[in-house]
Amino acid sequence: MKLLQEKIRSEGLVLSDSVLKVDSFLNHQIDPALMMKIGEEFVERFKGEKITKILTIESSGIAIAMATAVILNVPIVFARKRKSVTFDEELYWAKVYSYTKQESNDIIVSKRFLSAEDQVLILDDFLANGEAALGLANIIQQAQAKVVGIGIVIEKSFQPGAQKLIAAGYRVESLARIQSLENGQVHFL
């Protein structure tokens, strides 16, 4: 997606060899026109798949999910982050290690919003080690629903997430794939 690559090149801040900051259009301020283009691109990539719901994770995934869901005309469920979960039979939950915060969080989804009939598209902003996406996929499995695929806005391809998800049998569609962030520069695959 050329437009996204240009935006990353012009506004992305390389914080280290492994972390990219894109808070001017994705993670703090949001560029709505770009979000709509991202939504259109995900819809195009997953064309032909039956999708009944989008699952993402708060908070940055919500705008991406919204742009996609409005075209597909399906509901969005966003997993909430909670520090710890005591057993609650009304919730699906999974443990996710946060790449940026370097701590584990439980993510939770109410059992009311996922069922065995659902065919779910997972969407997220970044893919690093795959923890968030695997946690979301785990929750979908607990609901005995189907993971249609995983859509990612920015994949850091030099980290193992994409390979892990593909090895686990998931279809991964990433709109921008970064080969390296070395020397303060973004290099796309």
In contact, 4 and 38? CB cutoff 8 Å:
yes
What residues have CB less than 8 Å from 24, skipping those under 6 apart?
A: 11, 31
Using the minimum distance from each CB to ligand 5GP, give the nearer residue, 21 or 80: 21
Nearer to ligand 5GP, 12 or 39 (CB): 12
Encoded tokens for 127: 């893919």
Q: Which amino acid is at 29?
A: Q
Kindly state whether residue 127 participates in binding ligand 5GP, applying the rule CB under 6 A.
yes
CB of 10 to ligand 5GP, least distance (A): 16
Alpha-carbon gap, residue 13 to 56, rounded angstroms: 24
Residue 75 CB, nearest approach to ligand 5GP (Å): 21
Residues numbered 62 to 101 that lie near ligand 5GP (CB under 6 A) are: 99-100
What are the DSSP calls for 21-40, one per residue? E-TTTTSSS--HHHHHHHHH
Cβ proximity to ligand 5GP: between 100 and 110 the closer is 100
Q: Does 128 bind ligand 5GP (CB under 6 A)?
A: yes
* Cα(174)–Cα(127) distance, integer angstroms: 9
Closest Cα partner for 65 from 113, 26, 22? 26
CA 142 to CA 92: how far, in whole Å?
Answer: 7
CB of 77 to ligand 5GP, least distance (A): 16
Residue 28 or residue 111: which is nearer to ligand 5GP going by CB? 28
20 binds ligand 5GP (CB under 6 A): yes
Give the binding site for ligand 5GP (CB under 6 A): 19-22, 27, 60, 99-100, 124-132, 161
